[in-house]
Structure 1
Amino acid sequence: MDSWVRIGAGDVSVALDPTIGNIRTFSIAGREILHTAHWVGTDAAQSLEAPVDEHLAGDFFCAPFGASGVADVPPHGWTANSEWTPVLRAQNDDMAVLKLALNSTVFGARITKELRVIAGHSVLYQTHVITGGQGALTFAHHPMLHLLAGGHIGFSAKKAAMTPSSPLEESHRFAYPARGADLSKFPSADGGHVDLHHYPSDTGHEDFITLVEADDAQFGWTAVTRYAEDDIVLFVKDPRVMPLTMMWQSNGGRDYAPWNGRHTGVLGIEDGCCAGLTTLEGASGDNPIAREGVVTTLVLRPDLHTQVRHAIAVVPRPAGWSGVAQVFQSKTGFKLRSEGGNELEVAFDLGFFDL
Structure 2
Amino acid sequence: MTKTEPAPAALTAAGVSLSFRPRGGVLCELIVQDEGASISPLHRAPWAEAEVPADAPPHQRWLQGDFLAAPMGPGPDGLHGPAANGDWALLPSGPGTLRAVLDQPVLGASVVKELSVEDGHPFVYQRHLFIGGVGALPLANHAMIALPGGAKLSFSRKRWFETLPEALEPDPARGRSALAYPRRSEDPTEFPGADGGTVNLLRYPWGSRHEDFVTAVEDPASRLGWTAVVRPDQRDLILSLKNPAALPMTMLWHSNGGRDYAPWNGRHLGCLGVEEGAALPVLGLSAKETPDPLSAAGQPPLVTLDPLGTTEIRHILGAISWPSGQAVAGVMLEGDRLTVTGDWGAERQLPIRGGWLGLASSTAASAPRAAPSGWDI
TM-score, normalising length: structure 2: 0.85
Decide whether aligned partners of structure 1 residues 24 and 286 sit closer, same or farther in structure 2, where only a CA change above 3 A counts.
farther
Cα RMSD over matched residues? 2.3
Q: 2: CA distance between counterparts of 1:284 and 1:175?
A: 17
Decide whether aligned partners of structure 1 residues 48 and 228 sit closer, same or farther in structure 2, where only a CA change above 3 A counts.
farther
Within the candidate set 292, 313, 321, 1:316 is matched to 321
Q: Which consecutive residues of structure 2, in runs of 5 or more, have no partner in the other structure?
A: 171-175, 360-377
The match for 2:197 is 192
CA deviation after TM superposition for structure 1 residue 131, in Å? 1.9
Q: Does 1:142 align with 2:142?
A: yes
Q: Does 1:165 align with 2:165?
A: yes
Residues 203 and 264 of structure 1 are in contact (CA less than 8 Å); yes or no, is this contact kept in structure 2?
no
The match for 2:213 is 208
Q: 2: CA distance between counterparts of 1:263 and 1:288?
A: 34
SS of alignment partner, residue 240 of structure 2: strand
Residues 335 and 344 of structure 1 are in contact (CA less than 8 Å); yes or no, is this contact kept in structure 2?
yes
> Can you list the C-alpha shifts for 1:56-115, whole angstroms capped at 9, x where unaligned?
1000011100113xx3x1111111111212112322xxxx10111112111111111110
Q: 2: CA distance between counterparts of 1:222 and 1:160?
A: 15
Q: Give 1:254's aligned amino acid.
A: R
Q: 1: CA distance between counterparts of 2:148 and 2:63?
A: 18
Within the candidate set 67, 79, 82, 1:75 is matched to 79
Q: Does 1:115 align with 2:115?
A: yes
Residues 326 and 338 of structure 1 are in contact (CA less than 8 Å); yes or no, is this contact kept in structure 2?
yes
Decide whether aligned partners of structure 1 residues 318 and 44 sit closer, same or farther in structure 2, where only a CA change above 3 A counts.
same
Within the candidate set 26, 33, 45, 1:37 is matched to 45
Matches within 5 A, 1:57-76: 57-68=64-75, 71=76, 73-76=77-80
Between the two proteins, the alignment pairs up a number of residues equal to 344
SS of alignment partner, residue 106 of structure 1: coil
The match for 2:368 is none
Residues 121 and 348 of structure 1 are in contact (CA less than 8 Å); yes or no, is this contact kept in structure 2?
yes
The match for 1:151 is 151
Which moved further from structure 2: 98-107 or 29-38? 29-38
Q: Which consecutive residues of structure 1, in runs of 5 or more, have no partner in the other structure?
A: none
Q: Give 1:109's aligned amino acid.
A: A
The match for 1:346 is 350
CA deviation after TM superposition for structure 1 residue 181, in Å? 0.7
Decide whether aligned partners of structure 1 residues 155 and 255 sit closer, same or farther in structure 2, where only a CA change above 3 A counts.
same
Q: 2: CA distance between counterparts of 1:190 and 1:21?
A: 38
CA deviation after TM superposition for structure 1 residue 24, in Å? 2.5
Q: Give 1:270's aligned amino acid.
A: E
Q: 2: CA distance between counterparts of 1:298 and 1:316?
A: 34
Q: Give 1:15's aligned amino acid.
A: S
Percent of residue pairs bearing the same amino acid type: 35
Q: 2: CA distance between counterparts of 1:16 and 1:81?
A: 14
CA deviation after TM superposition for structure 1 residue 161, in Å? 0.7
> Can you list the C-alpha shifts for 1:117-172, whole angstroms capped at 9, x where unaligned?
01101101101111211122121100001111111000000001111121111422
The match for 1:262 is 267
SS of alignment partner, residue 89 of structure 1: coil
TM-score, normalising length: structure 1: 0.90
CA deviation after TM superposition for structure 1 residue 318, in Å? 2.4
Q: 1: CA distance between counterparts of 2:192 and 2:204?
A: 15
